[in-house]
Amino acid sequence: MLHQLESFARNSQSATGLALQAVLRKVAATEISRRGVLKGMSGFVLAAHFMPDTAQAFDAYPTQGLNMPHGVRNDPHIFVSIASDGQVSIVAHRSEMGTGARTSLPMIIADEMEADWDRVTIVQAEGDEPKYGNQDTDGSRSLRHHIQPCREIGAAIRKMLEMAAAKQWGVSDGMVEAIGHQVIHKTLGTRIGYGDLAESAMALETPARDRLRFKTDEEFRYIGKGQIQIYDLHDITTGKAVYGADVNLPGMKFAVIARPPVVGAMIKSVDDSAALAIPGVEKTIQIPVSPLGSKFKPLGGVAVIAKNTWAAIRGRDALKIEWDRGEHGSFNTPAYEKELRASVAQPGSSVRNQGDTEKALQSAAQTLTYEYYQPHLAHAPMEPPAAVASFKDGKCQIWAPVQSPYVARTDTASYLGLKPDDVRVNVTLLGGGFGRKSKADFATEAAFLAKQIGGAVKVQWTREDDIRNGYSHTSSVERIDVGIDADNKVTAWRHRSAAPSFLSTFVKDEGRQHEIEIGMGLENLPYAIDNISAEQCKAYAHTRIGWYRSVSNIPRAFAVQSATAELAVELGKDQKDFLIEMIGPDRILEAKASGLPGKFWNQYEPQEEFPFDTARLRAVAELAAEKAGWGKTLPEGEGLGIAVHRSFVSYIAMVVHARVEDGTVRVPEVHVAIDCGFAANPERIRSQMQGACVFGMSAALHQGLSFENGEVQQGNFNDYAMVRSDNFPEVVHTHIVPHPFSVHATGVGEPGVPPFIPALTNAIYNASGKRIRNLPIDNQLA
């Protein structure tokens, strides 16, 4: 996400991997002469299809990965090394926060290179994008952007091993074949292990792509099978896995920080005498306050430096700080909600204008208005932010659970006035991320304090710090006005959104949303209605806003899918049938015909490769409904609800079965239908869908940050509650639409969240007659 924001100002070509560029230039040159087919992306020319002479290939296709800062790298010498005993080391350059990326990408390389997974060691990359290519683990794109380069790396290594063996035997490459961690002489049947070939093979230059043979789908050993367990499974279950706070350095100090209770609040006075009197507390250090709009700079405040974490916590609690609350000190949630509702009552700025929606609304036989509210939310990963840093001889080293280690490195360097080369960021496992750990303010805090004390320090955020001082998910009011003609046909759909933007975290807040936020379900309603308009209405931020698992898709899916079900009820139609009717004929959404001024945002993925195909949207809705037994008779107090949403270029439908009893909702079953293109690791797709349902249920039932005079009122899991094992979506069935590799892999980590909430609230309506329009549900069913 961040990199996409930054990439506007960049020259994508210079930021793209050199090795890859060479391959692409070669491919492009071949294509120009052969077919004259070119695909342009941001001034970067590449071709999508080519067929090498030598063997079976997969058709290369462009993704937004090429345009990310530092692009994608496919240099096998950077990602793979082989020891003389045959042990293969594969670099994981993406962060692991629970999605399985750290396992799945190396698994793809291992499969394509015919390595035995039991002889693979994964090496976590430090933050170094010039070397590894883009590392920003965000936007549900690790597989989407890196499945091709990983296959290229694996196929190149396999080829190099084969070339080395052929040379040793004095035969042509065609006489040998790599299989199962060894190369076999095809006629003699003699074998050489990868370890024995390692030195000579790895000394070879990377073969050109057109000399590579790629596996057919049928030849995959691990890819698409879901049989590989996550690499860290044993360490996790024995307590050995290393997360941010689990790094210890000799002589390390421990820090806990009192941050401004209101963003941008300035310190008027500090009395640290009581803190310093606590045994183990050594000193306090002030960190400069950063106002709203300071990107990922530390919030500032007063750090307590101590001999252990407990002393630091007690010391922080004993600080007496007077704050000047500043311009956001009058931020109050009830008033803000009213402001947002007032904002959508007025016309906003148009982001889509198909047909003549205003005229159609005026001439409609009936108009219906639906309005939905969702409060700010906290990411609340299980691991609160924590980081370790050391500073010595003008150089800083950090160990931190960050989603974007290179951004953490460059931001920290800039904050400390160092060169990026003088900062190293080592990536630990992340105890959950959900977008919070894209913003490495906590790592920069540790680096700042390490520099101040000239040594090593661990910064530990408490849960209260995490909930009160994070980057909130946007709050929003979404209003939908629908026009219906005399024949009960929907003729107009106007969607207005008022939600503070994450732009306010980067630049001066102008009260408007970024194209990314608009692109997440506001501009791309996939309904077959003649007149559709979408507008964004003013909303200003009064707290740090940051993207949160699935971002603006959450309020959009909640609004659109709730309104669709409400409309079906109004018109006396079956909710699933009406949803399918709204989706309409199978077609590819086209921006111009949809009334967009430019292109669909489309997660920045090229439209030609990742089109919005309503047939796939319809298909998942039908699949989920069929599997759930839509239409079956349920006992009193129970109901099914359906919702579908496309995000992160994946299509997901859910049917939630809800039971409402004594003011409490329970979810005995969920059927998820997901079309994420080629499913590289079905086992992790299922775990992500189970997790998305729990994540969505927590937000729907319990969660909301409320502000009083600029301060977050919640602080821990008592008042910012999570779904627990005593009431969770008990059985989540995940139905994955099967596709060959040629149907591009899309995204999995985030898109499960948006459809869950409206599917649940629609199910609640069908179970109890109670329509939820404001989140969280909390005690609305009582």
Taking the complex as a whole, the smallest distance from the CB of residue 233 to other proteins amounts, in Å, to 5
208-216, 289-297, 653-661, 692-700 -> range binding other proteins (CB under 8 A): 692-700
Phi and psi (nearest 5°) for 362?
-65, -35
Buried b (16+ CB within 10 A) or exposed e, 619-654: bbbbbbbebbebeeeeeeebbbbbbbbbbbbbbbbb
Under rule CB under 8 A, residue 432 binds other proteins: yes
Site string for other proteins, 516-545 (x = CB under 8 A): ------------------------------
**Min separation Cβ 60 and other proteins, Å:** 31
As measured in angstroms, the least distance from the Cβ of 63 to other proteins is 25
Cα gap 429→241, rounded to integer Å: 8
Compare residues 617 and 674 and give the one whose CB is closer to other proteins: 674
- In whole angstroms, the minimum distance from the beta carbon of 721 to other proteins comes to 9
Which residue's CB is nearer to other proteins, number 32 or number 382?
382
Distance of closest approach, residue 752 Cβ to other proteins, in angstroms:
10
Coil, helix or strand at residue 229: coil
- What's the token pair of residue 61? 């296709």
CB atoms within 10 A of CB 445: 28
Q: How far apart (Å, rounded) are the C-alpha atoms in residues 532 and 529?
A: 7
C-alpha distance across the termini of the chain, in Å: 39
**Contact (Cβ atoms closer than 8 angstroms) between residue 648 and residue 140:** yes
What minimum distance in Å lies between the beta carbon of 98 and other proteins? 3
Of the listed pieces 70-78, 297-305, 576-584, 717-725, which binds other proteins according to CB under 8 A? 717-725
Burial class, 778, CB count within 10 angstroms (exposed 0-12 / middle 13-18 / buried 19+): middle
- The H or E element containing residue 623 is helix 614-628
Cβ 617 to other proteins shortest distance, Å: 25
Nearer Cβ to other proteins, position 229 or 369? 229
What dihedral angle (degrees, nearest 10) is formed by the CA atoms of 462, 467, 468, 473? 150
Can you tell me which residue has the tokens 């559709």? 532
Per-position b or e across 207-234, b if 16+ CB within 10 A of its CB? bebbbbbbbeeeeebbbbebebebbbee
For other proteins, give the closer residue by CB, 402 or 480. 402
Query: How many amino acids of this chain bind other proteins (CB under 8 A)?
Result: 66
User: CB under 8 A: which stretch of 53-61, 584-592, 712-720, 737-745 binds other proteins?
Assistant: 712-720
Is residue 230 a contact point for other proteins (CB under 8 A)?
yes
Output 310 or 506, the one with its CB closest to other proteins: 310
Instruction: Tell me if 234 contacts other proteins by CB under 8 A.
Output: yes
Nearer Cβ to other proteins (5/722)? 722
Interface residue with other proteins, options 74, 444, 462, 513 (CB under 8 A): 462
Q: Compute the least distance from the CB of residue 244 to other proteins, in Å.
A: 10
**In this structure, are residues 55 and 213 in contact, taking their beta carbons and an 8 Å threshold?**
yes
Asked if residues 156 and 207 have their Cβ atoms less than 8 Å apart, the reply is yes
Shortest distance, position 336 Cβ to other proteins, whole Å: 26
Q: Is 109 a residue that touches other proteins (CB under 8 A)?
A: no
- Provide CB contacts within 8 A for 245, sequence distance 6+: 383, 386, 388, 458, 460
575-583 helix and 553-571 helix, angle to the nearest 10 degrees = 110
Residue 29 or 236: which CB sits closer to other proteins? 236
Q: Which region among 181-189, 207-215, 381-389, 519-527 touches other proteins (by CB under 8 A)?
A: 381-389
Q: Minimum Å distance from CB 400 to other proteins?
A: 14
Q: How far is CA 304 from the centre of its chain?
A: 33
Give the per-residue contact string, 302-321, with other proteins (x = CB under 8 A; - = no).
Answer: ------xxxx-xx-------
User: Both tokens of residue 709?
Assistant: 């005079």
Contact call for residue 249 and other proteins (CB under 8 A): no
Distance of CA 110 to the CA centre of its chain: 25
Q: How far is the CB of 380 from other proteins (least distance, A)?
A: 6
Residue 113 carries which side chain, given as an amino acid letter? Answer: M
701 binds other proteins per the rule CB under 8 A: no
State yes or no: residue 236 binds other proteins (CB under 8 A): yes
Task: Report how far residue 614's alpha carbon sits from residue 107's, in angstroms, rounded to the nearest whole number.
Answer: 32
The reply to whether 691 sits near other proteins by the rule CB under 8 A is: yes
Task: Using CB under 8 A, list all residues that contact other proteins.
Answer: 96-100, 229-230, 232-234, 236-243, 245-246, 248, 254, 279-280, 308-311, 313-314, 380-384, 429-434, 460, 462-463, 683, 687-688, 690-695, 716-718, 722-726, 728-732
